[in-house]
Amino acid sequence: MIVPPSLLRIELPGKGRERRGFQLWLPLFLMWPLFFILALLALSVAVSVDAVLVVARARFHGYTRLTIACMRTLCAIRGTRVHVRSSDGNVDFCLI
């Protein structure tokens, strides 16, 4: 089963001689219930739109597949690492 990311780790390195940075861990799993409610709402709207478009004989009626693909893409970003560099310093983001 594929699930959305659980944690977001933000790493900020220190500056100067001390070079002591810090890491910030944000618990994304606390937002999972909201994600699942929104996903069910989006999926029910997509199924309804698909049903109306099939009855109306429209050309495209793949909104359900589109909604599921968007949900899978959101869940697939787990393990993504982003390293941002600037003249002021570096920041690392990691979705776990």
Asked if residue 54 belongs to a domain, the reply is yes
Q: Where are the beta strands (DSSP E) in the chain?
A: 7-12, 22-27, 81-85, 90-95
The number of domains in the chain is: 1
Asked if residue 1 belongs to a domain, the reply is no
Task: Please return the burial class of 28, using the count of CB atoms within 10 Å of its CB with bins 0-12, 13-18 and 19+.
Answer: middle
pLDDT (tens digit per residue) in 29-73:
999 999 999 999 999 999 999 899 889 888 877 888 999 999 899
What tokens does 25 get?
Answer: 């861990």
Cα separation, 84 vs 10, in Å, equals: 11
Place of tokens 């597949």: 65
pTM score > 0.75 for this model? no
Do the Cβ atoms of 44 and 67 come closer than 8 Å?
Answer: no
At residue 18 the predicted structure's pLDDT band, cuts being 50, 70 and 90, is low
Its domain, for residue 26, covers 7-95
